Chains A and B, each alone.
Chain A
Amino acid sequence: MSLLSIGLLYGGATLFVMFLGMPIAFALGAVATLFMIMFMPSGSVDTITQNVYEEMASITLLSIPLFILKGAAIGRSPAGKDLYGALHAWMHWIPGGLGIANVFACALFAAMAGSSPATCSAIGSAGIPEMRKHGYSPGFASGIIAAGGTLGILLPPSITMILYAVAAEQSLGRLFLAAIGPALLLVALFAGYAMWKFRREFQAALVQYKLAGVHSELLQVDTLTVYDKFALLPRVLPFVILLTGVMIALYGGYATPSETAGLGAVLALGLIASIYSVWTPRELEPILIATLRESTMLMLIIGMSLLYSYVMSYLHISQSTAQWIVSLELSRWVLLTAILLMVVVLGFFLPPVSIILMTAPIILPPLKAAGFDLIWFGVIMTIIMEMGLIHPPVGLNIFVIKNIAPDIPLRDVVWGVMPFVGLMMFAVLVLCIFPEIATWFADAIMGPK
């Protein structure tokens, strides 16, 4: 059988079993095993388990469950509510300040928790009712939270970034740093949009009031005393300390990324025990079960994706596809656009984890040949996958919003989210024109590559 037919068969079989609804981990493993039996020397099947074990037994990959534990500990505590409350108290005087406070709360929380759905539900469960109480339209409120939550896969310690670092063989520390500039850009864009949209809704409410005397909560001005502002600070400080402490441990060279994960998890458990007195086994159980559930699901997908790419590379499918893409001699930007479009389409169906591990061996060599910086591309690819978290049909965050605010019609959520998808595309464009937004900070701290 020719290489092309094997490659097509491999891709086709994978799509078939996945769309049949077989769990992603088993689908990848089953297809890889089947092709090992059919096309590889008989001995290779005997090493399949050793293969999976050796690929998984990397301390960098295995730091993922610990980052999830840290996120779950913070996510299941009232920390999100406190963080949000404090930011609101300090920002309510800005037009659209409530919306902006929500964007900031999402970003800070995402940086502590490292998970997109956890951020959405932690900040959204307090933020969405509050925004609606203040007259924000339901779609606008859910858009802010859904989009703000996606920052979880961009800001360190993002699990998506850890996998990209492993798949692309790039420095994880550098990748984390490169994400900070673009994340700030997104925060600024989201906040700017929140302000603009607030003004529009405010004007409309004002016109309604003048014409028909309909009063809207939007026109109400909050008054908060200085006491209110300071009362909430002590509760937030420890978490900010945790965030900066972990960063210093990592970038000060005191701890490896995996040690940072362990340290972060232990510190987060310590903080929720001391601040919210969550420490008994009964109270910790939901946190631990949620962590195990997510980690096991993810790690099995990761292990099987690695087996899948091993088979793909043994059969020379990935190398030949990569060579074929290079031989097309596309111009740099056409190549980049084509690859990003493919990531967008895959994002319709697959979680970021599988997209990275399955496509990296195929798309990274041509990008490298075309002279793109792979650290920069990691950031761009992550933003594109962030979009996949909020646009239909899968849009994980949309469903999280549906869970915490079931009375908002799906239509409103989807329309509320769309402007943010546009803003993300705009951010990708800006990053293509000014790649320094990503690379400058990493270079400044870690020295040029």
Chain B
Amino acid sequence: MAHGLDDVETGQAAALPRRAADRILAFVNDLVVKASSAALVAAGFVLTYSVIVRYFLKISTDWQDETSVFLIIGAVFLSSAAVQAMRGHVAIETIVGLLPPRVNRIRRILVDIGSLAFCAFFAWKSWTLLEEAWVEGYHSGSTWGPPLWIPYSLMTVGMTLLSIQILLQVIDELASRSRPR
């Protein structure tokens, strides 16, 4: 990005904490993507193990399906911030391309604020659900019956990260808008 000189002088102080936040989140996302990848592969192995155990060793399976559900749901929610960082959540862009650049920038900011509002609301409700599950000791209804705070906490952390990611993107956009280009 090309800045004017004045811009560098005045903008840098405000930009520093923002860049630090960007860097921290990028680092967290990187870790989370690695963990999610491992979780996905692990789920594959758990299900394979389930087939082998049931058909060759004739042992009944009870925990495999639910474990894979937790692993995959965790991978999906946790990596949603990383996907948002790549702008990987698809949107309909048919009309967007026809807008003049100025209007389009405003539209983009509005859309991101809307996404942020929804994700933050969802994250907040996930926290209350997690608290409820923890305090009341919710368990899944299956015979194995694992505690539900495990998947709920993965969902909660994932949605919180996603909200922070969108928030940083909104701040970035507002900052770049106030700067002359």
**B-binding residues in A (CB < 8 A):** 17-27, 29-30, 33, 45-46, 48-50, 52-53, 56-59, 62, 65-66, 69, 249, 254-255, 258-259, 261-263, 265-266, 269, 284-285, 288-289, 291-293, 295-297, 299-301, 348-351, 393-394
Query: In the bound complex, do residue B122 and residue A49 qualify as a contact, i.e. CB atoms below 8 Å apart?
Result: yes
Distance, CA A30 to CA B41, complexed state (A): 32
When distances are taken between beta carbons in the complex, the residues of chain B under 8 Å from A62 are 43, 68-69, 72-73
Query: In the bound complex, do residue A26 and residue B72 qualify as a contact, i.e. CB atoms below 8 Å apart?
Result: no
Given the contacts A57-B69, A292-B33, A23 and B119 also touching, CB distance less than 8 Å = no
Given the contacts A262-B47, A266-B45, A300 and B93 also touching, CB distance less than 8 Å = no
Distance, CA A284 to CA B46, complexed state (A): 19
When distances are taken between beta carbons in the complex, the residues of chain B under 8 Å from A45 are 125
The 9 closest A-B pairs by CB, nearest first: A262-B47, A23-B89, A288-B37, A30-B118, A265-B44, A26-B115, A62-B72, A299-B76, A262-B44
**Chain A: which residue is nearest B112 at the CB level?**
A22
Distance, CA A301 to CA B80, complexed state (A): 11
Query: In the bound complex, do residue A22 and residue B37 qualify as a contact, i.e. CB atoms below 8 Å apart?
Result: no
Given the contacts A48-B122, A59-B69, A393-B94, A289 and B111 also touching, CB distance less than 8 Å = no
Given the contacts A22-B114, A46-B125, A66-B40, A349 and B92 also touching, CB distance less than 8 Å = yes
Query: In the bound complex, do residue A22 and residue B111 qualify as a contact, i.e. CB atoms below 8 Å apart?
Result: yes
Within B36-67, the residues touching A (CB, 8 Å) are 36-37, 40-41, 43-48, 50-51, 55, 65
Query: In the bound complex, do residue B86 and residue A295 qualify as a contact, i.e. CB atoms below 8 Å apart?
Result: no
Neighbour of A269 across the interface among B41, B83, B94, B125, CB < 8 A: B41
Query: In the bound complex, do residue B43 and residue A300 qualify as a contact, i.e. CB atoms below 8 Å apart?
Result: no
Query: In the bound complex, do residue A48 and residue B125 qualify as a contact, i.e. CB atoms below 8 Å apart?
Result: yes
**A-binding residues in B (CB < 8 A):** 33, 36-37, 40-41, 43-48, 50-51, 55, 65, 68-69, 72-73, 75-76, 79-80, 82-83, 86, 88-96, 107-108, 110-111, 114-115, 117-119, 121-122, 125-126, 128-129, 151-152, 155
When distances are taken between beta carbons in the complex, the residues of chain A under 8 Å from B111 are 17, 20-22
Query: In the bound complex, do residue A254 and residue B55 qualify as a contact, i.e. CB atoms below 8 Å apart?
Result: yes
Neighbour of B73 across the interface among A17, A19, A53, A394, CB < 8 A: A53
Distance, CA A299 to CA B107, complexed state (A): 26
Distance, CA A27 to CA B55, complexed state (A): 44
Distance, CA A393 to CA B92, complexed state (A): 11
Distance to closest chain B CB from A321 (angstroms): 22
Given the contacts A30-B115, A62-B68, A297 and B89 also touching, CB distance less than 8 Å = yes
Distance, CA A340 to CA B120, complexed state (A): 37
**Chain B: which residue is nearest A31 at the CB level?**
B118
Distance to closest chain B CB from A306 (angstroms): 13
When distances are taken between beta carbons in the complex, the residues of chain B under 8 Å from A49 are 122, 125-126, 129, 152, 155
The prevalent SS among residues of B at the interface is helix
Query: In the bound complex, do residue A66 and residue B51 qualify as a contact, i.e. CB atoms below 8 Å apart?
Result: no
Query: In the bound complex, do residue B83 and residue A297 qualify as a contact, i.e. CB atoms below 8 Å apart?
Result: yes
Distance, CA A57 to CA B126, complexed state (A): 15
With most chain B CB atoms within 10 A of its CB, the pick from A33, A291, A292 is A292
Distance, CA A56 to CA B90, complexed state (A): 19
Given the contacts A49-B155, A62-B73, A259-B50, A24 and B90 also touching, CB distance less than 8 Å = yes
Distance, CA A254 to CA B50, complexed state (A): 10
**Chain A: which residue is nearest B49 at the CB level?**
A262
Query: In the bound complex, do residue A24 and residue B51 qualify as a contact, i.e. CB atoms below 8 Å apart?
Result: no
When distances are taken between beta carbons in the complex, the residues of chain A under 8 Å from B69 are 57-59, 62
Distance, CA A180 to CA B76, complexed state (A): 31
Distance to closest chain A CB from B15 (angstroms): 26
When distances are taken between beta carbons in the complex, the residues of chain A under 8 Å from B82 are 292, 296
When distances are taken between beta carbons in the complex, the residues of chain A under 8 Å from B114 are 17, 20, 22, 26, 30
A-B contacts, 12 listed (Cβ < 8 Å):
A21-B92, A21-B111, A23-B90, A26-B119, A49-B126, A62-B68, A261-B44, A262-B47, A269-B44, A296-B80, A299-B76, A393-B94
Distance to closest chain A CB from B131 (angstroms): 12
Distance to closest chain B CB from A74 (angstroms): 14
If A26-B119, A27-B91 are given as contacts, then 10 extra A-B residue pairs at C-beta distance below 8 Å, sorted by A number, are A19-B95, A21-B96, A29-B122, A66-B72, A254-B51, A262-B48, A263-B51, A266-B48, A288-B41, A296-B80
**Chain A: which residue is nearest B88 at the CB level?**
A293
Given the contacts A295-B76, A299-B76, A69 and B88 also touching, CB distance less than 8 Å = no
Query: In the bound complex, do residue A300 and residue B89 qualify as a contact, i.e. CB atoms below 8 Å apart?
Result: yes
When distances are taken between beta carbons in the complex, the residues of chain A under 8 Å from B75 are 65, 292, 295-296
When distances are taken between beta carbons in the complex, the residues of chain B under 8 Å from A284 are 37
When distances are taken between beta carbons in the complex, the residues of chain B under 8 Å from A20 are 107, 110-111, 114
Distance to closest chain A CB from B117 (angstroms): 7
Query: In the bound complex, do residue B36 and residue A292 qualify as a contact, i.e. CB atoms below 8 Å apart?
Result: yes
Neighbour of A21 across the interface among B55, B91, B151, CB < 8 A: B91
Distance, CA A33 to CA B68, complexed state (A): 28
Neighbour of B115 across the interface among A23, A66, A301, CB < 8 A: A23
When distances are taken between beta carbons in the complex, the residues of chain A under 8 Å from B92 are 18-19, 21, 24, 349-350
Query: In the bound complex, do residue B91 and residue A24 qualify as a contact, i.e. CB atoms below 8 Å apart?
Result: yes
Distance to closest chain A CB from B102 (angstroms): 15
Distance to closest chain A CB from B66 (angstroms): 8
Distance to closest chain B CB from A442 (angstroms): 23
When distances are taken between beta carbons in the complex, the residues of chain B under 8 Å from A19 are 92, 94-95
Neighbour of A288 across the interface among B40, B50, B119, CB < 8 A: B40
When distances are taken between beta carbons in the complex, the residues of chain A under 8 Å from B89 are 23-26, 297, 300
